[in-house]
Amino acid sequence: MKYYITTPIYYPNSSPHIGTAYTTIAADAMARLRRMKGDDVFFLTGTDENAQKIVRTAEGCNMDPQSYVDGIVDKFRELWRLLDISNDDFIRTTEKRHEKVVQAIFNRLYDKGDIYKSEYEGWYCTPCETFWTQNKLVDGKCPNPDCWREVELLKEESYFFKLSKYQDRLLQHIKDNPDFIQPASRRNEMIKFIEGGLEDLCVSRTTFQWGIKVPFDPKHVVYVWLDALINYISALGYPDGEKFIKYWPADVHLMGKDIVRFHAVIWPITLMALGIPLPKKVFGHGWFLSREGGKISKSRGNVQDAFELIRRYGSDPIRYFLLREMQWGVDGYYSEDDLVEKLNSDLANDLGNFVSRTLAMIVKYNGGNIPAPGPSTDLEKELKELSSKVKQTVEEKMLACDPAAALEAVWQFVGRCNKYVDETAPWNLAKDPGSKDRLNTVLYTLAECVRILGIFTAPFMPGVPKKIKPLLGNLDLFTDWEQTDQWGVLQPGTAVQKGEPIFPRIDVTALMAEKPAEQENEKSAHADAEKEKSKSIAEIKEEITIEEFAKLDLRVVKVLKAEKVEKTDKLLKLEVEMGQEVRTVVSGIAQHYAPEELVGKKVILVANLKPAKLRGIVSQGMILAASQGDQLEVLSLTKDIPTGAQVK
């Protein structure tokens, strides 16, 4: 089977970080698994270089755009090398092969009448490279929740792409193909967005000249999002390249959730207009958030230096942590403390210790040679059945773009292997000459477990098989996925050696001593800032009398329904029961609670607050919550106090 997977092409406006790395590592793990299953894989990544923000960043560095992006692209390539990324191609939108395809497509859409010239007047966010209509702005700013920056009012001659012409056709395709946009939350967002009406898209700019020229009107450059999306077929040699004929349509376009809209609306409509089959799946994963709050991103200035993390911990540990922490469909959290804890517990203790114990026991109890196994028992049968179950689960979860769940299944097997050691106690069997056959069976089974774990972990941590190979007879045992549930592969008599631990424990004390002094200064400054924040939080507001407090009518209410307010990321619309009355309340807690988390909760309502209209919804009260920094928790009751009861 063919398998074509892509990452988005990344903006080279600054060095790559761990958020960027996650998408590429996840795509790499999926590609590696499919290769191990024998599929014909093509894995594409690259850089999106024709953007206005590139021009501005380069100008800020007193460099021309091409020289600037060349240097940043080198960093992307180096990071992918250090992370063992196995991409088959790296596309740059400044390459001639890409420019040629973009211009040919622009010509074709224009000749077909799907692109026309008009004048654009509207709002543009340069950091997001996105046009917004007035009604989409929030308080006059970019509505992207990771941006909220000022927008520019633009008025210029432009070419437009008739998105509206294909609106109904795209909507029907999404509804007919539930797997096309995943997870379901992103799919539902896109359906609502399209049902709200698509406006024709401005697809050229005249206010700057960095980019691909419109072939028949060179004072215009092609809008970055039309240009960038075409990379997925320009890299294959569209329209008649051998790779395009072989690999298209893409099996998975993998990306962060913030750019799903471009891939689920602009891109499929472009393909429809060209008469090209649509990709099979557009998957938008969550963001990595810092424990201090907020997305880890260049715009927020809280990025983690991926090169430094790899130097400190190694490629495989970073790959493992990022893949394990990003749960399917939701955001993941990153902190270096979490990273160290996970690496010591999962990699050093669970996996690394099992491999070391196994090989040490074979060396100690059988002279360093894998013995011929004796009769099996139910314990060996249970391990064999589990390996088959884990194999199937990993395949299913990776097909669903869920590496975290796949790794969880692998670690079930790791845990069972460690339990098997304790259950069989080879050190006791070695003391009894009459238990030699049983000891041989146990040692052989443990060696097979090491081999199978080498295969199970290979897509996620490609360095693990390289570490195990010289310890386990220096044999090529880790490339055939089908051998994860085949037992009896290792030949008795194979020589093994204990070697160094494949994942040594991280010495936190030594690590802290190694960190540069400026990092410690930064940490100290952060601590001082937190102290100041705490002081400000502790400050008491102006005193009031008991009579003034008595004016507040605080009531117990039960949340009956909860849903997000359209076109905002902060607001939830709640229906609450207060005695015999049902009220509607709009609350700014959507970034802290999913709607389903609140349904059934009993919370506190300021019941006599003057009604206010928010986003066209009349809100009848205010839900009480405690907050500090980016943390927020709604005040709720644990005892069964009836709704409508007064809080005194």
pLDDT at 16: 81
Residue-wise DSSP of 169-224: HHHHHHHH-TTSEESHHHHHHHHHHHHT-PPPEE-EE-S---SPBPTT-TT-EE-H
CB 359 within 8 Å of CB 498: yes
pLDDT at 542: 61
Tokens encoding 357: 């114990």
Q: Which candidate, 452, 428, 429, 453, places its Cα nearest to that of 440?
A: 429
The predicted model gives 79-87 an average pLDDT of 96
Q: What is the pLDDT of residue 628?
A: 64
- pLDDT digits over 231-270, tens only? 999 999 999 999 999 999 999 999 999 899 999 999 999 9
The dihedrals phi and psi of 207, each to the nearest 5 degrees, come to: -80, -10
Return the pLDDT at 292: 56
Examine the pLDDT at 620 and tell me if it is beyond 80: yes
**115-125 and 130-132: which strand pairing?**
antiparallel
Q: Which positions ≥6 away from 410 have C-beta within 8 Å?
A: 390, 394, 453, 456, 457, 460
Structure tokens that stand for 530 in this block: 């937190």
Give the residues across from 632 on adjacent strands. 627
pLDDT at site 50? 86
* % of the chain exceeding 90 in pLDDT: 59
- The pLDDT of residue 132 is above 60: yes
The answer to whether residues 152 and 205 touch, using CB atoms and an 8 Å cutoff, is no
DSSP H or E stretch at residue 232: helix 231-234
Q: Considering just the CA atoms, what is the radius of gyration of the chain in Å?
A: 29
Residue 16 and residue 75: Cα distance in Å, rounded?
7
**In this predicted model, what pLDDT tens digit does every residue of 375-408 receive, in sequence order?**
999 999 999 999 999 999 999 999 999 999 999 9
Residue 644 has pLDDT above 50, yes or no: yes
Q: Which pLDDT tens digit goes with each residue over 505-552?
A: 987 666 666 555 445 544 444 444 344 434 333 344 566 777 667 778
What is the C-alpha separation between 66 and 54, in angstroms, rounded? Answer: 9
Alpha helices in 459-556 (DSSP H): 463-468, 508-514, 517-538, 546-550
Confidence label for 568 from pLDDT (cuts 50, 70 and 90): confident
Average pLDDT over residues 44-65: 86
- 190 is written with which tokens? 């896109």
| Assigned token pair, 312 | 């400190």
| Prediction pTM value | 0.76
How much of the chain exceeds pLDDT 70, in percent? 90
Task: Give the pLDDT score at 231.
Answer: 97
pLDDT band per the 50, 70, 90 thresholds, residue 566: confident
Tell me whether residue 142 is exposed, middle or buried, using C-beta atoms within 10 angstroms of its C-beta: 0 to 12, 13 to 18, 19 or more: buried
pLDDT, average across residues 443-461: 98
- Is residue 3's pLDDT more than 80? yes
- 562 — alpha (psi -120 to 50), left (phi > 0) or beta? beta
Q: How big, in percent rounded to 5, are the helix, strand and coil portions of the chain? A: 45, 20, 35
Q: How far is CA 67 from CA 56, 57, 58, in A?
A: 13, 12, 8
pLDDT at residue 47 is higher than 90: yes
- Whole-number mean pLDDT of the chain? 88
**Stretch 423-440: mean pLDDT:** 95
Q: Which residue has the tokens 């063992």?
A: 84
Q: Report the run of H or E that residue 120 belongs to, with start and end.
A: strand 115-125
- Exposure letters 100-137 (e unless 16+ CB within 10 A, then b): ebbbebbeebbeeebbeeeebebbbbbbbbbbbeeebe
